[in-house]
Amino acid sequence: MPEVPPLEAELQLATRGSEMKLEAELPPGTGESRGTRLARAVLGPQPIGMAFGAPYALFIAVLFAYPLGLAVWISFHSYFFTAPGVSVARPFVGLANYVAVLTDSEVLRSFLNILIFLVINVPLTVALSLLLATALNAAIPFRALFRACFYVPYVTASVAMVAVWLFMFNTGGVVDSVLGPVAPVPSWLVNQNWAMPSIAIYVTWKQLGFFILLYLAALQNVPKELYEAASIDGASWWHRLWSVTIPGVRTVTTLITLLAIIVGANLFTEPYLLTAGGGPNGTSASPVLLMYQIGIEQNHPDFASALGVILVIGVLLIVGVQRLLQRNQT
């Protein structure tokens, strides 16, 4: 076997298909140079695959992993933003930021707000998107038009949608005019009891198109024979939905629930724009909105980072419990 430089050898390995596999399986030290072994140890048996995957891995590392790690570090220190090159003390403060977060009444209120949001938004999202997807999956007139209509809010900029909802739900707006004396006083977005439910309904409506699309895709995989068999057995529409459709799209339901929870936990634009910064009286403030106000506007990234870390842990816990329940059901 002629001698080749290690890099070339690697390239040959990568392009020789099954040959490469065989060589990769050779025990270390059998006819390979040290450099090749080192390169393989670093880059693995598929260096070209690594090269293809590296940009995305780097993207994740730089834009997600590093900021997350930095946020965790900041949350344990006294920290504020400074100009580059400005040297200031950033003492380790242990759990002080976490204690401050967990004893802050506005933060606790924001977590309650998100709970209210999730209790309304998640079931509504799952139920409505499944029902509408089932309807749109059937042979109804103007099906394509309906599908597009439901999808439009999802692809339209939030700011534009918020302007429409402000017009509809503001004091004396279209909704108040239609409801007349039944409309709440004060109006929806300035009513402490209705502000967060209004946001939850808005987000449900805005996200519905995407979730309908997921369900439509899942419904294609439910065997038609099951519906035929159920019909022959005399099952009603409701029974077919309950016994065939819902079990058939269970994995997508799990995905939608997770996505809806994540959307809820990251709520920012709606309280920022729809209820003027989390009003009235903080009843629609979200943890992410507070992170922005406290971390960016007030230059307390240490507090905001602790809040962010708690939020991440909270979401992971909810998702973990949800996955556990799902697994047990399965």
Should residue 158 be labelled a site residue for another protein when binding is judged by CB under 8 A?
Answer: no
# of chain residues touching another protein (CB under 8 A)? 55
Nearer to another protein, 221 or 298 (CB): 298
Q: What region, left, alpha or beta, does residue 170 occupy, with left being phi > 0 and alpha being psi -120 to 50 degrees? A: beta
CB 6 within 8 A of CB 33: yes
Is residue 7 part of the contact set for another protein (CB under 8 A)? no
Can you tell me the distance from the alpha carbon of 144 to that of 225, in angstroms, rounded to the nearest whole number?
25
Tokens of 18: 């099954």
CA distance 55 to 290: 33
Residue 81 sits in the site that holds another protein (CB under 8 A): yes
- Minimum separation from the CB atom of position 66 to another protein (A): 3
- Interface with another protein, residue 78, by CB under 8 A: yes
Phi, psi of 266 (to 5 degrees): -95, 15
Residues 26, 51, 65, 149: which binds another protein (CB under 8 A)? 65
Is residue 14 near another protein by the rule CB under 8 A? no
- What sign for the dihedral angle of Cα 136, 140, 146, 147? positive
- In angstroms, give the least distance from the CB of 226 to another protein: 45
Exactly one of 20, 112, 168, 170 binds another protein (CB under 8 A); that residue is 170
Query: Using CA atoms, how far apart are residues 129 and 204, in angstroms rounded to an integer?
Result: 9
Residues near another protein (CB under 8 A) are: 41-44, 57-58, 61-62, 65-67, 70, 78, 80-86, 88, 96-97, 100, 104, 106, 163, 166, 170-172, 186-187, 189-190, 192, 273-282, 293-294, 296-300, 302-303
